[in-house]
Amino acid sequence: MDAFNRRRFMQTAGSASLIPALPGALFAQAAGGAGGPRVIEEVIPPSPEANEKPKYSINFAVIGVDHNHILSITAAVQRGGGKLVSVLSANPQYPKALADFQARFPGAKVARNEDEILNDPSIQLVCGAPIPDQRAALGIRVMKHGKDYLADKPGIISLEQLAEVRKVIKETGRTYAILFSERLEVKAAVKAGELIKAGAIGKVVQTVNLAPHQVNAPTRPDWFWDPARYGGILCDIGSHQVDQFVYYTGSTVADVTASQIANVHYPNYPKFQDFGDIMLHGNGGAGYVRVDWFTPGGVGVWGDGRLFILGTEGYMELRKYADITGRKGGNHLLLVDQKVQRYIDCNNVFLPFGPQFVGDVVNRTHVAQDQEQALLATELVLKAQKNAKQLTFTT
């Protein structure tokens, strides 16, 4: 009996060793048998919208260039028909930030001061990425001068700031937008939203976001290490992921179930937070978020961001910036429903935020970003940050 079992084991092991040599589609069929699941590979074709001239035009300015997200924010508004009139560095003690902005947008006039921009009646929108603790106050001044505001994330770093922003929005009727770029400017994330709206995975039950980042310590300014300046890890980078939870679940009411933060690896910066996670629940579904500053150099990108969306009729995974299994680049979307498995290359997906947002400024609408959803996502991360349990790992 022992000899028979050994022979059978060797035969099985020998057959299994051949499996990695099979092509992907053939392997899927072999794994599922003759009636196994079909695997469909798709490449989204280029959209004709990408070559269309913007429908609307506005003048806009930039105040605050402390985070390089301002480069993509400015580019998005320009794609939508925005004309960049002027730029002002809110913190001239960091001259490289302004130099980098001017290198990317050489035609922008450097304003003498903030009043020059705020009192210019031709400017309809101000975009800003100053140090995070300055963003809400800037947005309030912008709105009180009759202009709309588009902030880098985190757009607000305290519940007191949030209350004042909501008050001024109501008083002025202006827009306080926050560019959560990991949904609004990532092509796979845009495609995921389209598929969910079309019912591709049924009703969304839960979102799971894994959001590792690379710290690049030598390049970081002093304020990067101080949560009083950047808001804390959940408020800062977690705002992207909570925005996705609110949007994909369609939640209009939500709260934080639990949250945690830690400083695992940076004793030289005792206030810094390099790990955090959040559990969320809303009237549209549940959510989990993990954020960290531990992206290893071998990944080749700043973070191997993943998003998993569970639905009643299927699920999807987004490999936003890298696929360590071998596919090049980012914007990979994998979807499984009741009939098939799909891989979708989303690199040709059209990014609608810029044109939609410029249209919102002109038409006083909220197509590009729902104002209440943006503020709900902000409120959730602020609560999560404020009430987070501080973890300490010891050996």
User: What does the pLDDT read at residue 36?
Assistant: 63
Residue 280: CB atoms within 10 Å: 28
Q: 371-386 and 159-172 are packed helices; what angle lies between their axes, rounded to 10 degrees?
A: 160
Predicted TM-score (pTM) of the model is: 0.89
Contact 309, 315 (CB under 8 A): yes
Could you say which DSSP state residue 53 is in? P
**pLDDT over 70 (residue 26):** no
User: What does the pLDDT read at residue 35?
Assistant: 60
User: What does the pLDDT read at residue 10?
Assistant: 41
Give the tens place of pLDDT for each residue, 135-187: 999 999 999 999 999 999 999 999 999 999 999 999 999 999 999 999 999 99
**pLDDT over 90 (residue 74):** yes
Omega cis (within 30) before 154: yes
User: What does the pLDDT read at residue 395?
Assistant: 66
Closest CA to 69 of 27, 132, 121: 132
User: What does the pLDDT read at residue 21?
Assistant: 36
Maximal CA-CA distance, the chain: 91
**pLDDT over 70 (residue 91):** yes
Per-residue three-class SS string for 132-193: HHHHHHHHHHHHHCCCEEEEECCCCCCHHHHHHHHHHHHHHCCCEEEECHHHHCCHHHHHHH
User: What does the pLDDT read at residue 322?
Assistant: 95
Give the tens place of pLDDT for each residue, 234-261: 999 999 999 999 999 999 999 999 999 9
User: What does the pLDDT read at residue 169?
Assistant: 98
As a whole number of angstroms, the distance between CA 158 and CA 176 comes to 15
Superfamily of domain 55-179: NAD(P)-binding Rossmann-like Domain (3.40.50.720)
For the ranges 31-35, 72-76, 161-165, the lowest mean pLDDT is seen at 31-35
Contact 80, 351 (CB under 8 A): no
Give the residue with greater pLDDT, 39 vs 124. Answer: 124
**CATH 3.40.50.720 location in the chain:** 55-179
Task: Compute the average pLDDT of residues 30-49.
Answer: 76
Helix (H) or strand (E) run with residue 220 in it: none
What share of the chain has pLDDT > 90, as a percent?
A: 87
| Confidence at 206, pLDDT banded by 50, 70, 90 | very high
**CATH 3.30.360.10 location in the chain:** 183-351+383-391
Long-range contacts of 135-138 (CB under 8 A, 24+ apart): 135/64, 136/161, 136/162, 136/164, 136/165, 137/161, 138/63, 138/64, 138/90
Task: Compute the average pLDDT of residues 211-230.
Answer: 95
CATH 3.30.360.10, domain 183-351+383-391, yes or no: yes
Counts for the chain of helices (H) and strands (E), in that order: 14, 16
User: What does the pLDDT read at residue 15?
Assistant: 40
| Confidence at 394, pLDDT banded by 50, 70, 90 | confident
Q: Which two tokens stand for residue 86?
A: 């002027």
Backbone angles phi, psi at 273, to 5 degrees: -120, 120
| Confidence at 39, pLDDT banded by 50, 70, 90 | confident
Written as one string, the DSSP assignment of 270-291 is: TT---EEEEEEEETTEEEEEEE
Q: How many CA atoms lie within 13 A of 326 on its CB side?
A: 1
Task: List C-alpha distances in Å: 204 to 211, 217, 309, 340, 353.
Answer: 20, 38, 7, 18, 23
As a whole number of angstroms, the distance between CA 370 and CA 365 comes to 9
